[in-house]
Amino acid sequence: MTLRVEKKHAKALLEALELSEHYKPFQEVKRRVFRKYGLLGTRYDRVFTALMYRLYRLQGILDRIATERAGTNPERLPAAIRQSLRLAVVLGQFDEANDEEFNTTLLRYIATIIAKRFGTSYADSVVKLYQSLRRRPWTPTTRRERIELEYSMPWILIDALRKLLPWDEIKLFANTINTRSPILGFRVNILKATAEDVLKELRDMGVDAWLSERVPNHIRYRGAIDYQRFKALEEGKVVPQDEASTAAGFILGAKPGERIYDLCAAPGGKTTHLAELARNKALVVATDLRPDRLGRLQDLALRTGTAPSIIALVADARRASRLLRGAANRVLLDPPCTSTGSLAKYPEARWRLAPRTIREHVEKQRAMLLEAVKLLRPGGRLLYTVCSILPEEGEHNITWLLENTKGVELVPLSSPYEQSPLLRGTMRAWPHRHYTSGFFYALLEKKS
Protein backbone atom coordinates (compact mmCIF):
# COMPACT_ATOMS: atom_id res chain seq x y z
CA MET A 1 0.00 0.00 0.00
CA THR A 2 1.37 3.40 -0.96
CA LEU A 3 2.52 5.51 1.96
CA ARG A 4 0.80 8.92 1.88
CA VAL A 5 3.38 11.68 2.02
CA GLU A 6 2.66 15.08 3.51
CA LYS A 7 4.85 18.17 3.68
CA LYS A 8 5.85 17.47 7.28
CA HIS A 9 7.31 14.10 6.24
CA ALA A 10 9.48 15.71 3.57
CA LYS A 11 10.51 18.38 6.08
CA ALA A 12 11.51 15.76 8.64
CA LEU A 13 13.52 13.73 6.12
CA LEU A 14 15.36 16.76 4.77
CA GLU A 15 16.12 18.03 8.28
CA ALA A 16 17.48 14.63 9.28
CA LEU A 17 19.60 14.44 6.12
CA GLU A 18 20.94 17.95 6.57
CA LEU A 19 21.79 17.60 10.27
CA SER A 20 23.25 14.14 9.87
CA GLU A 21 26.05 15.62 7.79
CA HIS A 22 27.38 17.27 10.93
CA TYR A 23 26.66 14.78 13.71
CA LYS A 24 27.87 11.19 13.75
CA PRO A 25 26.58 8.53 13.88
CA PHE A 26 23.72 9.73 11.69
CA GLN A 27 21.30 7.30 13.34
CA GLU A 28 21.24 9.38 16.55
CA VAL A 29 20.36 12.65 14.77
CA LYS A 30 17.77 10.89 12.67
CA ARG A 31 16.10 9.49 15.79
CA ARG A 32 16.02 12.96 17.39
CA VAL A 33 14.48 14.58 14.32
CA PHE A 34 11.93 11.81 13.74
CA ARG A 35 10.87 12.00 17.39
CA LYS A 36 10.36 15.78 17.03
CA TYR A 37 8.03 15.19 14.03
CA GLY A 38 6.20 12.28 15.70
CA LEU A 39 7.54 9.76 13.18
CA LEU A 40 9.65 7.60 15.48
CA GLY A 41 8.67 3.92 15.24
CA THR A 42 6.17 4.52 12.41
CA ARG A 43 6.22 3.18 8.84
CA TYR A 44 7.67 6.53 7.75
CA ASP A 45 10.57 5.95 10.14
CA ARG A 46 11.30 2.55 8.56
CA VAL A 47 11.01 3.78 4.97
CA PHE A 48 13.05 6.96 5.52
CA THR A 49 15.70 5.12 7.55
CA ALA A 50 16.19 2.65 4.70
CA LEU A 51 16.45 5.56 2.26
CA MET A 52 19.07 7.26 4.43
CA TYR A 53 21.17 4.10 4.71
CA ARG A 54 21.04 3.67 0.94
CA LEU A 55 21.97 7.31 0.40
CA TYR A 56 25.02 7.07 2.66
CA ARG A 57 26.19 3.70 1.32
CA LEU A 58 26.03 4.97 -2.26
CA GLN A 59 27.00 8.58 -1.60
CA GLY A 60 30.06 8.75 -3.90
CA ILE A 61 28.21 7.05 -6.74
CA LEU A 62 25.18 9.34 -6.27
CA ASP A 63 27.46 12.39 -6.49
CA ARG A 64 29.02 11.06 -9.69
CA ILE A 65 25.60 10.50 -11.25
CA ALA A 66 24.30 13.91 -10.13
CA THR A 67 27.42 15.59 -11.54
CA GLU A 68 26.96 13.83 -14.90
CA ARG A 69 23.24 14.46 -15.18
CA ALA A 70 22.67 17.78 -13.36
CA GLY A 71 25.99 19.38 -14.25
CA THR A 72 26.91 20.30 -10.66
CA ASN A 73 28.84 18.33 -8.10
CA PRO A 74 26.63 18.09 -4.98
CA GLU A 75 29.81 18.28 -2.84
CA ARG A 76 30.12 21.98 -3.65
CA LEU A 77 26.53 22.93 -2.73
CA PRO A 78 24.87 23.73 0.62
CA ALA A 79 23.97 20.61 2.61
CA ALA A 80 20.20 20.79 2.00
CA ILE A 81 20.60 20.99 -1.81
CA ARG A 82 23.35 18.38 -1.83
CA GLN A 83 21.25 15.89 0.12
CA SER A 84 18.15 16.62 -2.00
CA LEU A 85 20.09 15.86 -5.20
CA ARG A 86 21.39 12.62 -3.67
CA LEU A 87 17.86 11.72 -2.63
CA ALA A 88 16.64 12.38 -6.18
CA VAL A 89 19.22 9.87 -7.48
CA VAL A 90 18.31 7.27 -4.84
CA LEU A 91 14.62 7.57 -5.73
CA GLY A 92 15.22 7.81 -9.47
CA GLN A 93 17.74 5.00 -9.83
CA PHE A 94 18.11 2.90 -6.67
CA ASP A 95 14.60 2.76 -5.24
CA GLU A 96 13.72 -0.81 -4.44
CA ALA A 97 10.06 -0.06 -3.67
CA ASN A 98 9.65 1.56 -7.10
CA ASP A 99 6.64 3.54 -5.95
CA GLU A 100 6.28 6.38 -8.43
CA GLU A 101 3.52 8.17 -6.55
CA PHE A 102 5.42 8.16 -3.25
CA ASN A 103 8.66 9.29 -4.90
CA THR A 104 7.19 12.15 -6.92
CA THR A 105 5.11 13.50 -4.02
CA LEU A 106 8.08 13.33 -1.65
CA LEU A 107 10.36 15.08 -4.15
CA ARG A 108 7.73 17.72 -4.93
CA TYR A 109 7.56 18.70 -1.26
CA ILE A 110 11.38 18.61 -0.96
CA ALA A 111 11.63 20.86 -4.04
CA THR A 112 9.14 23.32 -2.49
CA ILE A 113 11.33 23.58 0.62
CA ILE A 114 14.48 24.03 -1.49
CA ALA A 115 12.78 26.66 -3.67
CA LYS A 116 11.79 28.67 -0.59
CA ARG A 117 15.29 28.57 0.86
CA PHE A 118 17.54 28.70 -2.19
CA GLY A 119 15.45 29.69 -5.23
CA THR A 120 13.60 27.76 -7.93
CA SER A 121 16.57 26.81 -10.09
CA TYR A 122 17.95 24.40 -7.46
CA ALA A 123 14.46 23.02 -6.86
CA ASP A 124 14.08 22.39 -10.61
CA SER A 125 17.45 20.60 -10.73
CA VAL A 126 16.26 18.17 -8.05
CA VAL A 127 13.04 17.30 -9.88
CA LYS A 128 14.69 17.16 -13.33
CA LEU A 129 17.45 14.87 -12.03
CA TYR A 130 14.85 12.41 -10.78
CA GLN A 131 12.88 12.56 -14.04
CA SER A 132 15.99 12.10 -16.16
CA LEU A 133 16.94 8.93 -14.25
CA ARG A 134 13.41 7.53 -14.54
CA ARG A 135 13.53 8.05 -18.30
CA ARG A 136 17.07 6.76 -18.77
CA PRO A 137 18.80 5.03 -15.84
CA TRP A 138 22.54 5.61 -15.33
CA THR A 139 24.85 2.73 -16.23
CA PRO A 140 28.47 2.28 -15.15
CA THR A 141 30.93 2.58 -18.01
CA THR A 142 34.14 1.07 -16.61
CA ARG A 143 34.93 -2.19 -14.82
CA ARG A 144 35.87 -0.24 -11.69
CA GLU A 145 32.55 1.62 -11.71
CA ARG A 146 30.69 -1.68 -12.08
CA ILE A 147 32.52 -3.19 -9.10
CA GLU A 148 32.09 -0.05 -7.00
CA LEU A 149 28.36 -0.16 -7.70
CA GLU A 150 28.10 -3.90 -7.03
CA TYR A 151 29.86 -3.58 -3.65
CA SER A 152 28.71 -0.01 -2.81
CA MET A 153 32.30 0.85 -2.00
CA PRO A 154 34.93 3.14 -3.50
CA TRP A 155 37.79 1.52 -5.38
CA ILE A 156 40.34 2.69 -2.80
CA LEU A 157 38.64 0.49 -0.20
CA ILE A 158 38.25 -2.49 -2.52
CA ASP A 159 41.93 -2.19 -3.35
CA ALA A 160 42.85 -2.22 0.36
CA LEU A 161 40.66 -5.28 0.98
CA ARG A 162 42.37 -7.13 -1.89
CA LYS A 163 45.57 -7.17 0.19
CA LEU A 164 43.81 -9.05 3.00
CA LEU A 165 40.96 -11.07 1.48
CA PRO A 166 40.25 -13.15 -1.63
CA TRP A 167 37.58 -11.78 -4.02
CA ASP A 168 34.79 -14.07 -2.82
CA GLU A 169 35.35 -12.86 0.74
CA ILE A 170 35.36 -9.21 -0.35
CA LYS A 171 31.88 -9.83 -1.68
CA LEU A 172 30.81 -11.36 1.63
CA PHE A 173 32.37 -8.41 3.47
CA ALA A 174 30.40 -5.98 1.27
CA ASN A 175 27.15 -7.88 1.79
CA THR A 176 27.67 -7.86 5.56
CA ILE A 177 28.45 -4.16 5.92
CA ASN A 178 25.68 -3.19 3.51
CA THR A 179 22.96 -4.86 5.51
CA ARG A 180 22.05 -3.61 8.96
CA SER A 181 23.95 -5.61 11.56
CA PRO A 182 21.64 -8.34 12.81
CA ILE A 183 23.78 -8.94 15.90
CA LEU A 184 24.47 -6.41 18.64
CA GLY A 185 26.04 -6.84 22.03
CA PHE A 186 26.67 -5.89 25.64
CA ARG A 187 29.63 -6.33 27.91
CA VAL A 188 28.48 -7.48 31.32
CA ASN A 189 29.99 -5.41 34.14
CA ILE A 190 31.31 -8.07 36.50
CA LEU A 191 31.43 -5.57 39.37
CA LYS A 192 27.63 -5.39 39.33
CA ALA A 193 26.18 -8.49 37.67
CA THR A 194 26.83 -11.92 36.23
CA ALA A 195 26.42 -12.76 32.55
CA GLU A 196 23.91 -15.47 33.45
CA ASP A 197 21.66 -13.02 35.36
CA VAL A 198 21.66 -10.49 32.51
CA LEU A 199 21.04 -13.23 29.97
CA LYS A 200 18.06 -14.46 31.99
CA GLU A 201 16.65 -10.94 32.25
CA LEU A 202 16.91 -10.49 28.48
CA ARG A 203 15.39 -13.86 27.72
CA ASP A 204 12.53 -13.22 30.15
CA MET A 205 11.79 -10.11 28.05
CA GLY A 206 11.65 -12.32 24.96
CA VAL A 207 14.98 -11.13 23.51
CA ASP A 208 16.94 -13.63 21.41
CA ALA A 209 20.20 -13.35 23.37
CA TRP A 210 23.15 -15.67 23.96
CA LEU A 211 26.63 -15.70 25.50
CA SER A 212 29.49 -14.99 23.11
CA GLU A 213 31.48 -18.12 22.31
CA ARG A 214 34.66 -16.13 21.83
CA VAL A 215 34.75 -13.42 24.47
CA PRO A 216 33.93 -13.87 28.18
CA ASN A 217 31.10 -11.87 29.76
CA HIS A 218 29.88 -10.65 26.42
CA ILE A 219 26.23 -11.07 25.44
CA ARG A 220 25.07 -10.96 21.85
CA TYR A 221 21.47 -10.42 20.76
CA ARG A 222 19.22 -9.94 17.76
CA GLY A 223 16.32 -7.53 17.41
CA ALA A 224 15.09 -4.61 19.46
CA ILE A 225 15.15 -4.24 23.25
CA ASP A 226 12.50 -2.45 25.27
CA TYR A 227 14.68 -0.15 27.38
CA GLN A 228 11.74 0.82 29.62
CA ARG A 229 11.85 -2.73 30.94
CA PHE A 230 15.57 -3.52 30.62
CA LYS A 231 17.02 -1.60 33.57
CA ALA A 232 20.49 -3.20 33.46
CA LEU A 233 21.77 -0.50 31.11
CA GLU A 234 20.80 2.42 33.34
CA GLU A 235 22.11 0.55 36.39
CA GLY A 236 25.53 0.09 34.77
CA LYS A 237 25.28 -3.68 34.81
CA VAL A 238 25.92 -3.75 31.07
CA VAL A 239 27.76 -1.54 28.60
CA PRO A 240 26.68 -1.61 24.92
CA GLN A 241 29.79 -2.77 23.12
CA ASP A 242 30.84 -4.60 20.00
CA GLU A 243 32.29 -8.06 20.74
CA ALA A 244 35.59 -7.03 19.11
CA SER A 245 35.85 -4.06 21.51
CA THR A 246 35.19 -6.23 24.54
CA ALA A 247 37.92 -8.55 23.24
CA ALA A 248 40.46 -5.68 23.42
CA GLY A 249 40.14 -5.42 27.22
CA PHE A 250 40.75 -9.14 27.64
CA ILE A 251 43.72 -9.13 25.27
CA LEU A 252 45.48 -6.37 27.19
CA GLY A 253 44.31 -7.57 30.61
CA ALA A 254 44.47 -5.63 33.89
CA LYS A 255 45.42 -6.67 37.42
CA PRO A 256 44.96 -5.11 40.86
CA GLY A 257 47.78 -2.76 41.85
CA GLU A 258 48.80 -1.93 38.28
CA ARG A 259 49.21 1.46 36.60
CA ILE A 260 47.36 1.50 33.28
CA TYR A 261 47.24 4.26 30.66
CA ASP A 262 44.45 4.47 28.10
CA LEU A 263 45.64 7.18 25.73
CA CYS A 264 42.63 7.73 23.43
CA ALA A 265 40.07 6.70 25.94
CA ALA A 266 36.71 8.40 25.34
CA PRO A 267 33.87 7.54 25.48
CA GLY A 268 35.35 4.95 27.80
CA GLY A 269 34.02 1.54 26.80
CA LYS A 270 37.49 0.01 27.06
CA THR A 271 38.70 2.17 30.00
CA THR A 272 35.85 1.04 32.22
CA HIS A 273 36.42 -2.56 31.12
CA LEU A 274 40.09 -2.40 32.22
CA ALA A 275 39.06 -0.90 35.57
CA GLU A 276 36.51 -3.70 35.99
CA LEU A 277 39.01 -6.43 35.12
CA ALA A 278 41.30 -5.15 37.88
CA ARG A 279 38.26 -5.14 40.24
CA ASN A 280 38.68 -1.37 40.70
CA LYS A 281 42.08 -1.98 42.30
CA ALA A 282 44.30 -0.60 39.51
CA LEU A 283 45.01 3.03 38.66
CA VAL A 284 43.59 3.68 35.20
CA VAL A 285 44.58 7.02 33.71
CA ALA A 286 42.32 7.86 30.78
CA THR A 287 43.38 10.64 28.43
CA ASP A 288 41.60 12.13 25.43
CA LEU A 289 41.86 15.33 23.44
CA ARG A 290 38.15 16.10 23.65
CA PRO A 291 36.73 17.29 27.00
CA ASP A 292 33.15 16.63 25.86
CA ARG A 293 33.95 13.01 25.09
CA LEU A 294 35.81 12.68 28.41
CA GLY A 295 32.60 13.88 30.07
CA ARG A 296 30.85 10.87 28.55
CA LEU A 297 33.65 8.65 29.87
CA GLN A 298 33.15 10.05 33.36
CA ASP A 299 29.39 9.41 33.17
CA LEU A 300 30.06 5.83 32.12
CA ALA A 301 32.60 5.41 34.93
CA LEU A 302 29.99 6.60 37.45
CA ARG A 303 27.30 4.35 36.02
CA THR A 304 29.52 1.27 36.00
CA GLY A 305 30.94 1.95 39.48
CA THR A 306 34.50 2.20 38.10
CA ALA A 307 35.00 5.92 38.82
CA PRO A 308 37.10 5.28 42.01
CA SER A 309 39.93 3.74 39.98
CA ILE A 310 39.83 6.04 36.92
CA ILE A 311 41.48 9.44 36.49
CA ALA A 312 40.36 11.32 33.37
CA LEU A 313 42.68 13.93 31.83
CA VAL A 314 42.41 16.11 28.74
CA ALA A 315 45.70 15.43 26.96
CA ASP A 316 47.22 14.95 23.54
CA ALA A 317 48.47 11.37 23.18
CA ARG A 318 51.26 12.64 20.94
CA ARG A 319 52.76 14.32 24.02
CA ALA A 320 51.72 11.70 26.56
CA SER A 321 55.21 10.85 27.83
CA ARG A 322 55.78 14.52 28.77
CA LEU A 323 52.49 14.72 30.66
CA LEU A 324 52.15 11.41 32.46
CA ARG A 325 54.46 10.60 35.37
CA GLY A 326 55.41 7.02 36.10
CA ALA A 327 55.87 4.04 33.81
CA ALA A 328 52.87 1.81 33.18
CA ASN A 329 52.29 -1.92 33.42
CA ARG A 330 49.86 -1.66 30.53
CA VAL A 331 49.02 0.88 27.87
CA LEU A 332 46.03 0.85 25.55
CA LEU A 333 46.22 2.81 22.31
CA ASP A 334 42.94 2.91 20.37
CA PRO A 335 43.58 6.01 18.24
CA PRO A 336 41.30 7.85 15.82
CA CYS A 337 41.30 6.09 12.46
CA THR A 338 39.41 5.91 9.17
CA SER A 339 36.61 3.90 10.87
CA THR A 340 36.65 1.51 7.91
CA GLY A 341 35.99 -1.32 10.38
CA SER A 342 32.60 0.23 11.25
CA LEU A 343 31.12 0.82 7.83
CA ALA A 344 27.78 -0.73 8.77
CA LYS A 345 27.37 1.95 11.47
CA TYR A 346 29.13 4.81 9.64
CA PRO A 347 28.16 4.00 6.02
CA GLU A 348 29.32 7.38 4.70
CA ALA A 349 32.89 6.96 6.08
CA ARG A 350 33.87 4.91 3.00
CA TRP A 351 33.42 7.94 0.73
CA ARG A 352 35.68 10.14 2.87
CA LEU A 353 38.58 7.80 2.29
CA ALA A 354 41.42 9.40 0.33
CA PRO A 355 45.19 8.89 0.27
CA ARG A 356 45.62 12.17 2.13
CA THR A 357 43.19 11.25 4.94
CA ILE A 358 44.89 7.89 5.36
CA ARG A 359 48.34 9.55 5.49
CA GLU A 360 47.16 12.03 8.13
CA HIS A 361 45.76 9.27 10.33
CA VAL A 362 48.88 7.14 9.94
CA GLU A 363 51.14 10.04 10.87
CA LYS A 364 49.21 10.67 14.11
CA GLN A 365 48.99 6.96 14.92
CA ARG A 366 52.77 6.56 14.55
CA ALA A 367 53.49 9.57 16.78
CA MET A 368 51.15 8.09 19.41
CA LEU A 369 52.72 4.63 19.12
CA LEU A 370 56.17 6.06 19.89
CA GLU A 371 54.78 7.82 22.96
CA ALA A 372 52.94 4.71 24.11
CA VAL A 373 56.15 2.65 24.00
CA LYS A 374 57.99 5.32 26.06
CA LEU A 375 55.35 5.01 28.78
CA LEU A 376 55.88 1.27 29.31
CA ARG A 377 57.94 -0.10 32.16
CA PRO A 378 60.18 -3.12 31.40
CA GLY A 379 57.92 -6.13 30.93
CA GLY A 380 54.95 -3.80 30.38
CA ARG A 381 52.47 -4.43 27.58
CA LEU A 382 50.95 -2.20 24.92
CA LEU A 383 47.82 -3.07 22.98
CA TYR A 384 47.48 -1.16 19.73
CA THR A 385 44.04 -1.56 18.24
CA VAL A 386 42.20 0.22 15.42
CA CYS A 387 38.72 -0.14 14.06
CA SER A 388 40.07 -0.18 10.51
CA ILE A 389 40.48 -2.66 7.72
CA LEU A 390 43.37 -0.76 6.12
CA PRO A 391 46.82 -2.39 6.35
CA GLU A 392 48.30 1.13 6.53
CA GLU A 393 46.64 1.71 9.92
CA GLY A 394 47.32 -1.82 11.16
CA GLU A 395 50.11 -4.11 9.99
CA HIS A 396 52.17 -1.37 8.29
CA ASN A 397 52.22 0.78 11.44
CA ILE A 398 53.41 -2.12 13.57
CA THR A 399 56.10 -3.16 11.07
CA TRP A 400 57.26 0.47 11.05
CA LEU A 401 57.29 0.58 14.87
CA LEU A 402 59.29 -2.63 15.18
CA GLU A 403 61.82 -1.33 12.65
CA ASN A 404 62.15 2.04 14.36
CA THR A 405 62.05 1.20 18.06
CA LYS A 406 64.42 -0.87 20.09
CA GLY A 407 63.32 -3.04 22.98
CA VAL A 408 59.73 -4.00 22.03
CA GLU A 409 58.54 -7.27 20.60
CA LEU A 410 55.23 -8.71 19.46
CA VAL A 411 53.35 -11.03 21.76
CA PRO A 412 51.70 -13.32 19.17
CA LEU A 413 47.90 -13.19 19.00
CA SER A 414 45.68 -15.76 17.35
CA SER A 415 42.66 -15.81 19.61
CA PRO A 416 39.76 -15.01 19.90
CA TYR A 417 39.94 -14.07 16.19
CA GLU A 418 42.43 -14.92 13.44
CA GLN A 419 46.02 -13.99 12.66
CA SER A 420 46.46 -11.31 10.03
CA PRO A 421 47.78 -12.76 6.78
CA LEU A 422 50.01 -9.70 6.42
CA LEU A 423 51.91 -9.70 9.71
CA ARG A 424 52.36 -12.83 11.76
CA GLY A 425 51.46 -12.39 15.42
CA THR A 426 48.91 -9.62 14.82
CA MET A 427 45.19 -10.33 14.64
CA ARG A 428 42.08 -9.18 12.80
CA ALA A 429 38.35 -9.44 13.55
CA TRP A 430 36.07 -9.27 10.50
CA PRO A 431 32.40 -8.29 10.06
CA HIS A 432 31.69 -11.14 7.61
CA ARG A 433 33.52 -13.81 9.62
CA HIS A 434 32.74 -12.85 13.21
CA TYR A 435 29.76 -10.46 12.96
CA THR A 436 31.79 -7.76 14.71
CA SER A 437 33.28 -4.49 13.56
CA GLY A 438 36.54 -4.89 11.66
CA PHE A 439 39.37 -4.55 14.21
CA PHE A 440 43.14 -4.89 14.08
CA TYR A 441 45.13 -5.86 17.21
CA ALA A 442 48.84 -5.93 17.99
CA LEU A 443 50.11 -6.71 21.49
CA LEU A 444 53.65 -5.56 22.24
CA GLU A 445 55.91 -6.11 25.22
CA LYS A 446 58.82 -3.98 26.39
CA LYS A 447 61.82 -6.23 27.03
CA SER A 448 63.09 -6.38 30.59
Ligand X SMILES: C[S@@+](CC[C@H](N)C(=O)[O-])C[C@H]1O[C@@H](n2cnc3c(N)ncnc32)[C@H](O)[C@@H]1O
Judged by the rule CB under 6 A, the positions of this chain that interact with ligand X are 245, 264-270, 287-290, 293, 316-318, 334-336
Closer of 187 and 214 to ligand X (Cβ): 187
The CA-based angle 403-246-330, given to 5 degrees, is: 45
In whole angstroms, how close is the CB of 72 to ligand X at the nearest point?
34
Which of the following is catalytic: 232, 337, 387, 442?
387
Closer of 371 and 395 to ligand X (Cβ): 371
337 noted as active-site residue: no
Closer of 83 and 339 to ligand X (Cβ): 339
Closer of 66 and 320 to ligand X (Cβ): 320
Instruction: Indicate the residue whose CB is closest to ligand X.
Output: 264
In whole angstroms, how close is the CB of 334 to ligand X at the nearest point?
4
Closer of 195 and 266 to ligand X (Cβ): 266
In whole angstroms, how close is the CB of 366 to ligand X at the nearest point?
12
The CA-based angle 232-234-238, given to 5 degrees, is: 45
Closer of 90 and 247 to ligand X (Cβ): 247
Closer of 192 and 318 to ligand X (Cβ): 318
Q: Reduce the secondary structure of the chain to three states and give it as a string.
A: CCCCCCHHHHHHHHHHHHHCCCCCCHHHHHHHHHHHCCCCCCHHHHHHHHHHHHHHHHHHHHHHHHHHHHCCCHHHCCHHHHHHHHHHHHHHHCCCCCCHHHHHHHHHHHHHHHHHHHCHHHHHHHHHHHHHHHHCCCCCCCHHHHHHHHHCCCHHHHHHHHCCCCHHHHHHHHHHHCCCCCEEEEEECCCCCCHHHHHHHHHHCCCEEEECCCCCCEEEEECCCCCCCCCCCCCCCEEECCHHHHHHHHHHCCCCCCEEEECCCCCCHHHHHHHHHCCCCCEEEEEECCHHHHHHHHHHHHHHCCHHHEEEEECCHHHHHHHCCCCEEEEEECCCCCCCCCCCCCHHHHHHCCHHHHHHHHHHHHHHHHHHHHCEEEEEEEEEEECCCCCCCCHHHHHHHHHHCCCEEEECCCCCCEECCCCCCCEEECHHHHCCCCEEEEEEEECC
In whole angstroms, how close is the CB of 24 to ligand X at the nearest point?
12
In whole angstroms, how close is the CB of 368 to ligand X at the nearest point?
7
In whole angstroms, how close is the CB of 136 to ligand X at the nearest point?
44
Dmax (CA) of the chain: 72
In whole angstroms, how close is the CB of 416 to ligand X at the nearest point?
17
Phi, psi of 273, rounded to the nearest 5 degrees? -65, -45
* Residues with catalytic roles: 387
